[in-house]
Structure 1
């Protein structure tokens, strides 16, 4: 079983390396501004956050679809979730013809850890099709970011970022991680998470 996990972990890291090597993996994990705009089925989508409540601070995570000649649907904005992080340290978006993925940091208050929510949003209805995420294993700890990207196969969602504690389900060690969600838009398969 240990050998199997090692092979899976190496495979997950290899996906990122195939997309640009160790330098790119490191750059993705440490970049300060995540991608917040993408295109799916001819439409441009943008993710942002807006403070809804002052005390305690609550931020709505909003996804906007722009109207254009190439988009078959009208302009619309929906709230896909909320964050109690003050402010959310990261919102990120990745999109292709299969759908839109939105990621953001959140916490529930007090000594709770800062975790990452990842949502699959349908381009046409703007409804949340799937909710996934990454969770620290200890209270009062942080996953600082989860910059989203889509693998070269077009179906794998890759989240890279930094943290100060282990993520539930990870292998390896270090303050950077790669989480690989196979067939993200068409399944509910759990991610393979490798720390380095």
Structure 2
């Protein structure tokens, strides 16, 4: 059984932390949580809004209408609770980091399993083709079906690219969640590396 992302009461405290960073409406809180988890976890509205209502009842947040949206803001009492529970908040941050790593591992495992299943299907199809060929009279050799081979190779390539994407996002989110920095210079280096990789793929396809 998969353990919960947040332990009991931790999400409530983490919502206070997010509102201490900036006022947000409900959807922005859901987005912020999804970003902290690198897209591997996104809470439902049914998870977020009851907790916001409870925080409002306790006087820890307030809400106000901004057009068609309801914006939540932390109160002085909410900030006082964050200060009083600073040690617990540190443990929640560690929980978030651990959850990101666990969820990223599960995503990688799912992608790996899918790749193994695809390879098994390919092997089975090749075996069936060999058995069928052995039951018919020999004919003149024919060229392999390049389009079929290309489609199968493309599926494997897409699985590998998805695994790379999830792994890289999880690494970045884990780094930030654990207190690391990510500067504009590092972003520029990352983009340059991705551009070099893209160019290498182009050269591979068009030697």
TM-score, with normalisation over the residues of structure 1? 0.20
Higher-Rg member (1/2): 2
- Structure having the higher helix fraction is 2
Please report the TM-score for the alignment, with normalisation by the length of structure 2.
0.19
Indicate the structure with greater strand content. 1
Larger relative contact order, structure 1 or 2 (CA cutoff 8 Å, min sep 6):
2
